[in-house]
Structure 1
Amino acid sequence: MKNVHRIFAVCFGFGRSLLESNVVEKRFGLLATLNSVDADKLRSIDINSMEAVPLNNRIQSSALAEIRNFNIDVDRDLLKSVSGKASEGELSGTISGADSLSVSTDKSYDELEEFLTHCYHLYKSNHYRDVGFDWINQIQEIKDKSLIESLDQLLLEEFNSANTTRIWTSIPEIIDYYSLESFKLKTDNIYDDLSIEIIKDEYGNDLSLNDIKKKKVTCLNAEETPVRNWSVYRCLYADLNFEGHQYLLNDGKWYEVEQDYVRKVQQYYEDAVLSDIPMLDYAWKDEKEYNIAVCKEYPDRYCLMDRRNVYQGGNPLEFCDIYSRDKQFIHVKKYNGSSVLSHLFFQGYVSAENFFDLVYRQKANRLLGENFKVPETNTISASEYEVIFAIAKDNLEEGERPEIPFFSKVSFRSVSSRLKHYGFKVSIKGINRTYRDNNNNEGGNEE
């Protein structure tokens, strides 16, 4: 390879496990494979869903198939590896690629250099962009240790600064707020919510990276018994710019996001319709109390459906938190990180999708008030209905769009697009949260 110096490790069996992970070219095998297989001759794929709670999936096809048959959500799925039938001369049969490239070949030792040169040119090719795989560059997990160290240092500087505008707290798992009531850190103080300010009050304003990776956030149930804990590091969400690139920290992992993709996601959220439905300020501790209060304030307009599940196939589904006489499904959530909002958006999607089912609507009518019944016809017109995602957040003005983490915007874009495809109207409602925890008046700094 003229003017190019590359070292290839040709491994057999488990020999690759002896290599240091940070010396391997990231996505070498993935790109080489995508540039050499037919888009309609794929055998299996491994994906990681870019949610606040990532899910790893391997999807296999019983026969060679197109990429669309694997039901990938290009907005949220990170392609980790792919297997398929090679379509070009030097490679044949089934090949697989992630960071490493897995192939079978009859080349002799003397022919290996030419063969590896060809594999390198496949890796450098942009052919994959032209056959429908251009989306794989939208979000990439960072594995470079030196880059992670630089980003962690930038995170630490932002965390210890007086104005932390680019980092938030984000509970790293979807938790049941019906049974999990509060949080505890170092002192005996109990908090109904978590924030950067609370962490600093408890642990101090000058933490080291080791501190935020070792110090814990504990989740308590209604009896104030600890049921789960995470490191402070895992509870931080960051959206940082470093050397002209956009990086996100989510659940303890760093990701690089393509700038054009960032702009598209941000613009989609900024263009989302803002609902003007009347709601109260969020002056209650939990969503149950808030939803009850709203429906009492507007009894002719709203019907309370919070925790009144419709059972479908044995599974409890929440119709919505509040249903309006104007055919609006209102889903309410107190902001507490990406996992909570992703769950909110998915809940709205599942409810709307099941609304087409007559039996589901009949069951819902048993729970709805007399003036709020939905049609029990075989078909319904989705365009007559609206799905409203109401997000409660501190210091929101009336009519203000709530600012949410990037991954939450990704989830909203994906769910909103699907709902609109069905015909539903979709909007966002910001709610000013005025409730304050009386227990967080004193925090202790660790010595």
Structure 2
Amino acid sequence: MSKTRSFSIYLLKESYDPSNSLKDDHTLELITEDRTNLPEDSIMYISDSPLKEPWWKRYWGISKTLVQTQKSALVFLPINERWIVLTFGSTYHQLKDNCYEHDFGIRTTLNALNPKEIKSTDILQPENAKRQRIQSPVDSELSFFDLKSDETILQKMTGSVKEEYQTLFKKVTGGNSLRVSSKLEAQEISDLCGSLIEIYEKEDYKTNFPELQNIVPVRDPVVIGQLEDKLVQAFNQDPAPVELVLAIPELFDYSTDYKIKYSGAGRSGLEFTDVFIKGYRDYLTDREIDQIDDIKKFYTHKLQILDDNDRNIKDYTIFKSFLFDCEIDGKTYHLCEGEWYFIETDFIQKLSTELDPIFVDTHRYLHQCEKKREDHYNISVKDAFTVVKCLDKKNISPRGQYNVEPCDLIYVESEYLELAHIKISTRSSSLSHLFNQGVNSVQLLRNNEEARQKLKTLVDNDVSMNDYIDKGTYSVTYGIITKNDKAKKSKSLPLFSRISLLRTLNTLRTMNIPMRVHYIYDNVDRKEIENGNED
């Protein structure tokens, strides 16, 4: 019986072939043997790393001979005027980020999958670059995986294929690449790859998974060129606009000891503890580069993750590490992990229709900000209005649970006890935390007597507030300190912050709690701070 073997498969873009798809500094060795099982006209490279001692051998003073090595390979297969790449081991890192079809794996998987037999999903929430893998003990429908199509981008999916494809393969996993297992011999693999390209080019996924169409990849090279120009313009602004963020573009084990360096424009001694645009800017300044004038620089400059021995754990192009929102001709786009996505116009309109009414131009207590720090601003409001109490950094959580801050400012307003949450920032990650804070606080106060008693103590058992606490009559206000144009209402927020805000609004509506958002004018000249939090 033939042995089942696993293959990781990439599809090169139409303008790429073996001559221009490998990184310029690759260390792979071309195989030139005559007698192999390679299909006709295919090309194979291998990585034959020399033997090395593991770092811990010398660390612990071990004298026994201990060595380790890594062998890997990739094979280029010509398939009907396209090129497929099969990778073995870690050689996929030797491919240029922009040489392959980034939706090949996921789209082929969605076309081939039985919609009722999904095993695992990897999702990304672009608002905060949060990544999550959800697995099912049995084959399940998409609804099991709690994939919110309005808030997340599907990164990877695993499951069983439809009956019509089971003669080719039984299971499939798709992300940037496609992973399948097959018993086919070497000379038959080209036929399998040809079938995979045919499956990729189908549009069955639109019927099988219609709920995944609010966010779709951009394929038009003309539009991509316009988007790249927008990205360069945004990066050259100092500080960078809130719509532009730098982040590690894959699931990463943050328990690993690591540090960040940048490369591609020359050597630099600068090291960083985490990933921020300011660190990359500092690297460019160290290399006497004032501006980026060509998108190609983002493809050649790299974000490097190093271990405590200065060994490279992983590296990514700067382009692949960007998160970016922008508009062109009234259409909204999002850059994530080196791919541009179009956000369905009707969905964008839905966000405005739902959210714009909750934005208010004026507020009785939330005056403009003259302070550099949020806590100082909160105190200034409390000092200006005796009816306002400041609960910044206070805690109402029951004993033994994680701290929950009730709000930053609290006061009675329009027959409600208003809980105001304040944030200096319009960065997606900061606002996501802000919105969640408001929901968590109200849910705890509505459901936990100990939390209510703690809130009464924090407001000094103010008689005017205690009755509202007992009845659970709350409203929530989000005060966002920013220079952004308040006339644009919800559109002044990053796209995925709007999605997060809509989720918050719907949650509070089910609790019958009014909610509003107020832009507080920021009258402070702020410089970009490395950690991305202005307070």
TM-score (norm 2): 0.59
Query: How much does 1:151 deviate?
Result: 4.4
The amino acid of 1:98's aligned partner reads: G
Asked if the contact 1:391–1:402 (Cα under 8 Å) also holds between the matched residues in 2, the reply is no
The amino acid of 2:466's aligned partner reads: K
Following the alignment from structure 2 to structure 1, what is the Cα–Cα distance between the partners of residues 484 and 217? Answer: 33
Q: Map residues 236-385 of structure 1 onto 2, 5 A cutoff.
A: 239-241=326-328, 246-248=332-334, 255-260=340-345, 261-274=347-360, 277-278=363-364, 279-300=366-387, 302-312=388-398, 313-325=400-412, 326-358=416-448, 359-371=450-462, 372-373=465-466, 384-385=473-474
Query: How much does 1:123 deviate?
Result: 2.2
Asked if the contact 2:119–2:138 (Cα under 8 Å) also holds between the matched residues in 1, the reply is yes
Query: How much does 1:79 deviate?
Result: 0.9
Following the alignment from structure 1 to structure 2, what is the Cα–Cα distance between the partners of residues 146 and 127? Answer: 26
Following the alignment from structure 1 to structure 2, what is the Cα–Cα distance between the partners of residues 153 and 398? Answer: 26
Following the alignment from structure 1 to structure 2, what is the Cα–Cα distance between the partners of residues 395 and 90? Answer: 52
Following the alignment from structure 2 to structure 1, what is the Cα–Cα distance between the partners of residues 214 and 445? Answer: 35
Larger Rg: 2
Distance 1:81-1:254 versus aligned 2 partners, 3 A rule:
closer
Matched with 1:421 is 510
From 127, 130, 135, the equivalent of 1:55 is: 130
From 163, 169, 187, the equivalent of 1:88 is: 163
From 102, 110, 125, the equivalent of 1:26 is: 102
Query: How much does 1:152 deviate?
Result: 4.5
Query: How much does 1:82 deviate?
Result: 0.4
Query: How much does 1:13 deviate?
Result: 4.5
The amino acid of 1:256's aligned partner reads: Y
Following the alignment from structure 1 to structure 2, what is the Cα–Cα distance between the partners of residues 406 and 56? Answer: 18
Asked if the contact 1:141–1:253 (Cα under 8 Å) also holds between the matched residues in 2, the reply is no
From 106, 112, 115, the equivalent of 1:36 is: 112
The amino acid of 2:142's aligned partner reads: I
Matched with 2:146 is 71
The amino acid of 1:429's aligned partner reads: H
Asked if the contact 2:106–2:176 (Cα under 8 Å) also holds between the matched residues in 1, the reply is yes
Distance 1:125-1:272 versus aligned 2 partners, 3 A rule:
farther
Give identity over the alignment, percent: 21
Query: How much does 1:285 deviate?
Result: 2.6
Kindly report the root-mean-square deviation, in angstroms, between the aligned alpha carbons of the 2 structures: 4.7
Matched with 1:392 is 481
Distance 1:99-1:276 versus aligned 2 partners, 3 A rule:
same
Asked if the contact 1:43–1:83 (Cα under 8 Å) also holds between the matched residues in 2, the reply is yes
Q: SS of the counterpart of 1:362?
A: helix
Distance 1:340-1:79 versus aligned 2 partners, 3 A rule:
same
Q: SS of the counterpart of 2:206?
A: helix
Following the alignment from structure 1 to structure 2, what is the Cα–Cα distance between the partners of residues 421 and 344? Answer: 19
Asked if the contact 1:306–1:322 (Cα under 8 Å) also holds between the matched residues in 2, the reply is yes
Distance 1:269-1:416 versus aligned 2 partners, 3 A rule:
same
The amino acid of 2:179's aligned partner reads: S
The amino acid of 1:69's aligned partner reads: F
Query: How much does 1:320 deviate?
Result: 0.9
Matched with 2:292 is 208
Aligned residues: 387
TM-score (norm 1): 0.69
Q: SS of the counterpart of 1:46?
A: strand
Q: SS of the counterpart of 1:44?
A: strand
Query: How much does 1:83 deviate?
Result: 0.6
The amino acid of 1:17's aligned partner reads: Y
Which range moves more in the overlay, 86-95 or 144-153? 144-153
Following the alignment from structure 2 to structure 1, what is the Cα–Cα distance between the partners of residues 393 and 437? Answer: 13
Asked if the contact 1:30–1:98 (Cα under 8 Å) also holds between the matched residues in 2, the reply is yes
Q: Map residues 138-217 of structure 1 onto 2, 5 A cutoff.
A: 138=215, 140=217, 151-157=227-233, 167-168=241-242, 207-209=291-293
Following the alignment from structure 2 to structure 1, what is the Cα–Cα distance between the partners of residues 173 and 109? Answer: 6
Q: Map residues 210-229 of structure 1 onto 2, 5 A cutoff.
A: none
The amino acid of 1:208's aligned partner reads: I
Of structures 1 and 2, the one scoring higher in RCO (CA 8 A, sep 6+) is 1
Q: SS of the counterpart of 1:76?
A: coil
Matched with 1:223 is none
Q: SS of the counterpart of 1:345?
A: helix
- Residues 256-282 of structure 1 show CA distances to partners (whole Å, capped at 9, x for unaligned) of 232424443344433434375412222
Asked if the contact 2:426–2:493 (Cα under 8 Å) also holds between the matched residues in 1, the reply is no
Asked if the contact 1:248–1:255 (Cα under 8 Å) also holds between the matched residues in 2, the reply is yes
Following the alignment from structure 1 to structure 2, what is the Cα–Cα distance between the partners of residues 362 and 390? Answer: 26
Q: SS of the counterpart of 1:386?
A: strand
Matched with 2:520 is 431
Q: SS of the counterpart of 2:455?
A: helix
Query: How much does 1:28 deviate?
Result: 1.8
Gapped runs of 5+ residues in structure 1? 174-194, 215-230, 441-447
Asked if the contact 1:128–1:134 (Cα under 8 Å) also holds between the matched residues in 2, the reply is no
